[in-house]
Structure 1
């Protein structure tokens, strides 16, 4: 799992002023699912925000994601990861370090 978040200038594509990518990769580092705003989604109109998701089994397709907030984005990502792991028969658990401020 990889998470990248950077501050950026506010633009029509990134109106919230952040550039982000949250990705679940397989053992070969191929994307299984993810959320990002690096480019437009399929069917986007000019001026639409870039927020979109990549869904399992839909390689090369990008689906609109309605960004609400960073905490909601994190929750939605973890929900999708958990759903995927459940379908794959894999246990998913997110562990916190002792200081509770960082994931491991």
Structure 2
């Protein structure tokens, strides 16, 4: 990232790297954050390689926001920002680190409510 495109919320996202948090009272669902700076490129225009995931009791990924691979019609080619929600994968419009964190937690809450884990 250059100074002119500096994202002040980026430090908060980078601080989450390596964190694994149990997020329900029964200890059966957990989230994992992997976030690293990488050189800005067509594949990683934000200068980040990231994966934010929610896992269920059996370790299955229920929610994921990442930029590790192409999606949709772009099954080949450059990786792009996208989100996994249960069994669907859709492009994600990355705005900044703060929005990514908010969007991830909103999706986590929605899925946990749908599954009856949260009220």
Q: Give the alignment's TM-score, normalised by structure 1.
A: 0.76
| Structure 1 alignment gaps of length 5 or more | 93-104
User: Which runs of 4 or more aligned residues in structure 1 lie more than 2 Å from their structure 2 counterparts after TM superposition?
Assistant: 44-49
- RMSD across aligned positions (CA): 2.0
Deviates more, 1:2-11 or 1:35-44: 35-44
| Structure 2 alignment gaps of length 5 or more | 1-30
> Where does residue 24 of structure 1 map in the other structure?
54
Deviation at 1:62, TM superposition (A): 2.5
> Where does residue 68 of structure 1 map in the other structure?
95
Q: Give the alignment's TM-score, normalised by structure 2.
A: 0.67
**Separation of aligned partners in 1, 2:76 and 2:42:** 9
Which protein has greater RCO, CA pairs closer than 8 Å, 6+ apart?
Answer: 2
Higher helix fraction (1 or 2) = 2
Q: Is the 8 A contact 1:25 1:31 kept in 2?
A: yes
